[in-house]
Structure formats: structure tokens, C-alpha cells
Amino acid sequence: MNKAALKQFLDEAVQRNNQAKFIESDPIAIPHGFSQLQDIEIMGFWVAVLAWGQRKTIINKALELIELMDGAPYDFILNHRPEDRERLALFKHRTFNSTDTAYFLTFLQQYYRQYESLESAFTQFLKPNSPDISEALIGFHDLFFSLPDAPQRTRKHLPTPLRNSTCKRINMFLRWMVRKDGHGVDFGCWQNISPAQLLMPLDVHVDRIARRYGLLERKQSDWQAVLELTENLRQFDAQDPVKYDFALFGLGIEEREAE
């Protein structure tokens, strides 16, 4: 398949999957349950961090977390007292446990008592004309774990490019917050990061389909693979390369469901 044919094929897959019907069965359904910016950010971030395993299970665990926060994540984060955390002590999803939950609550409470939006936790590390969000991911990771009581075990839930991780879940969260195309899936509620700076969320489905169509040749699925794939997708749309997440992820899911 030549470049023009591949672009048309991928654009059609984007159109097929970048629709409101995509929301219901995807973890992005969780932040779509809110209208206030901070609620969207908090649950978008948290459900993205929890996003491994079956999508239905991820959604159910996020709904459980919301219930434990009285259905109002931002208000709970901002105003809860230490004794209010007792109810979250048993919250767990795979390897994410009560220690991780407690630290997330601590960081988010301290952060939101100083800043209005989680966006600045990323953008403060972006230099003018940064080609992509690499610096923002590194800076956010370091900021998140800057508190003196940051547990070592929690670091595995929030990777950094400096450890050569794909940073799939955080790249997905930033796609949700930054992209705005009128289709109603991604929120586009952040204004200071450009869609052109976003990097692809690289999971097993995206990896497999990207390799099949010659968009990814690096043997390892690591941070350099994310940069390679995104750069190749910029050839199709330099201003919004990550829209092709809908194509590659969608094709991977369609293929799996057809098996």
C-alpha cells in the first residue's frame, strides 16, 4: 500500500471510530460523566492511570472510585480530611493499591489547593516551540513525586520517558485533554498544548497494526518507538498526528473481535 492509499485507509478508520458511540465502551466514558473542568481532569487522569486490563473492568473500578469520593471528585480532593480516606483504604485495581491511592490523594489535594487546573502541571515544563510533549511528561513525573513521602512503589504507575517507557496511559490522557475536533470524544479543554505536540499512546493493538503497515520498524516497544511512530504519522497530518490513535487502536480492536 503506497503512502496516499495508506493515508486514505487510516483517515477512513479515524472517521469510523472517532464518534460518540466510541465513548460508552472506553475508559474515556468516565470523565465524560462530568462537566466541571477539574472533575474531568481528575477522573481523566486517574482512569488513564488505571487503564490496563479489560476496558469494562477499568470503567467499573473508576465508577467505584467516584462513589468512594461521594460522586464529586474535585470537591472530595479539595476538602477531604485524613479520616475521610479510610473508606478508600480497600480500593484496588490490579497492582494499584491503598498506598498508591493515598499518595494520589495527597498530591492532588496539595496541587489543587494551589492551582486551578492540572494543565499547568504539564505546561510549566514546556519550552517555547517545544516540538513535542517529552519535556512535559518528564517534568510532570518529577513534580508528581516531589513530595517528601512519595512511595517508591507508586512510581511504576506513572512512567517517564527517562526510563524509556512508552508512557502510553499519560499520552492517552493528554490526547483526551488537548484534542478538540468537534466529534465529541476528546475534550479539548486544555488550550496551552497543541495537538501537534502530542505523542501516540502505544499499546499492544496500536503496536501490532503500526508494524503491519510499516509505520513502526523499531524492534523494541519503548519511548523511541513512540517518537518514531508519531513522526511517521505526522507525514499524514502534521497538526494532529495522534488522531490516528482512533485508526490504529480501532483496527486492532476490530481485528481482535473478528477472531
SS3 79: helix
Q: What backbone torsions phi and psi does residue 93 show, to the nearest 5 degrees? A: -140, 110
Alpha helices in the chain (DSSP H): 3-17, 37-49, 55-68, 73-79, 98-112, 119-123, 134-144, 168-178, 204-212, 223-234, 245-258
**83 falls in which pLDDT band (50, 70, 90)?**
very high
Q: Is the pLDDT of residue 254 over 80?
A: no
- pLDDT digits 0-9 by tens, 179-207: 999 999 999 999 999 999 999 999 999 99
Separation in Å, CA 12 to CA 7, 17, 39, 244:
9, 9, 33, 10
Which grid coordinates are listed for 65? 472510585
**256 falls in which pLDDT band (50, 70, 90)?**
low
Residue with cell string 511517521: 232
Mean pLDDT across the chain, nearest whole number?
94
Contacts of 46 (CB under 8 A, 6+ apart): 62, 65, 73, 104
Contacts of 82 (CB under 8 A, 6+ apart): none
**258 falls in which pLDDT band (50, 70, 90)?**
low
What percent of the chain stands above pLDDT 90? 89
Q: What pLDDT score does 224 carry?
A: 98
- pLDDT digits 0-9 by tens, 31-67: 999 999 999 999 999 999 999 888 899 999 999 999 9
Which grid coordinates are listed for 187? 475534550
Contacts of 120 (CB under 8 A, 6+ apart): none
